Amino acid sequence: MEEVWLTDKAWRDNHIRSSDRYAHWVLLVFALVWNGITLPLFLQFDELMARIESEPVVLVAFIFPLIGVGILVAAVRRFLAWRHFGPAPLVLDPFPGAIGGHVGGKVDTRIRFQANQHFDVTLTCLQSSISGSGKNRKRRESVDWQTEGVCHRERTSEGTRLLFRFRVPEGRKETDVEKGGTYYLWRVSIDSELDGPDFSRSYEIPVFPTRALSSLTEGTEAHEATQDKAMEGLESVAEVRSVARGIEAFFPAFQRPLQGLFAVLFGLLFAGAGIGVGYAKDGGVFLPFIFIMVGSLILLYGLWYLGKSLLVAVTEDGVRCRRFLYGYPVKTRQILKADLKGFEIDEGATMTSGNKTTVFYQLKVQSRTGQTLTVGERMTSRPEVELLKETFETYVG
């Protein structure tokens, strides 16, 4: 394979700098500009207070200096964190990362080695695309594939070495070296909450279908801390118990409710906007109807998501699923063992907060005739859904 990844000087020596290395400077410059714009409010403080006495609404103007102070504090903290931890480049092993093989590597840090530290690592393939047109054009990223775990660690003379190794299945998208309108990129993120500044670094890396394997002997998927975290996550959304000749998993309502709450809130706002337009003078009928209809559908989805629960039994006879809505049974379906084709992981909705993207996973089972049943839901990491899949396969595999 042509070594196209060597055309990017950021990757050429396999010492990959964090993509956050300039972020603190950008944030600091933005904070200075913002505070420079809002500074005149303080220079005219007496006049502003006199105006507030007659027009209390002017008090809202103080929100902008407060935002500026918040941005400045965040910028200083980010700058100090960068100085504290240093560059901490990533060295890939293998280089480049391999589809059909391993994506792994090490990061040497100045962090003092301690037994109880945990460093979360996430490997993500992202599709970057442009949406909108004209002045409304903006670039957005969506998750194509993601996995996560906890880094292995080694003590070094200068601090702590972080190591990770993931197996990446065949068929994933390779890195687009020439970034066009729509392209794919791979990112490694490592985060840890520490005493003092928190460690948070992300690296854009080259990943190609070379099928190469890492020299690192321990996989992140098999790390005890990864497995423990997956078990804790699974237990937070499912009650798993043994039954005669099998296992049963109950996924109760109102677990990990953010997706449902967001849908309810957005649906209410959308429908409320339609009602407002309807009451407005010359508002017409068609536009309010569309707003109310769409908002109502979103609201119903949110209420469904919050109130749904699922009881799954996997035994030597096969798989049986029973769906409930706010405690009332809605539907029961079953696939006999002789008709089972296998379990598969389904990546559903995503939610992004800051630099972290959460993927909501479902586990499904298929029959040889094409029937598909949901046997696990509300899981937010690949290790969680992989653990449930392996557990079910033990009884019907």
* φ, ψ of residue 243 in degrees (nearest 5): -130, 175
pTM (two decimals) = 0.80
Q: Are 76 and 28 in contact (CB under 8 A)?
A: yes
> Which pLDDT does position 205 carry in this prediction?
96
> Which one-letter DSSP state was computed for residue 102?
E
- Between the alpha carbon of residue 26 and those of residues 20, 64, 200, 221, the distances in Å are 10, 19, 17, 35
Structure tokens at 111: 């962090």
Nearest Cα neighbor of 121 from 185, 191, 203 is 191
CB 248 within 8 A of CB 376: no
What is the C-alpha to C-alpha distance for residues 106 and 388, in angstroms, rounded to an integer? Answer: 29
Query: How confident is the model at residue 57, as a pLDDT?
Result: 55
Q: Can you name the residues that pair with 167 across neighbouring β-strands?
A: 102
> How high is the pLDDT of residue 304?
95
Report the topology of domain 4-18+87-217: Immunoglobulin-like (2.60.40)
**Collapsed DSSP state (helix, strand, coil) of residue 242:** strand
**Do the bridges between strand 90-92 and strand 102-109 make them parallel or antiparallel, or are there none, so unpaired?**
antiparallel
Strand 97-98 and strand 207-208: the pairing is: parallel
Residue numbers in the chain where pLDDT is lower than 70: 1-2, 20-25, 27, 38-62, 82, 132-136, 277-284, 354-355, 397
Q: Where are the domains of the chain?
A: 4-18+87-217, 23-85, 223-397
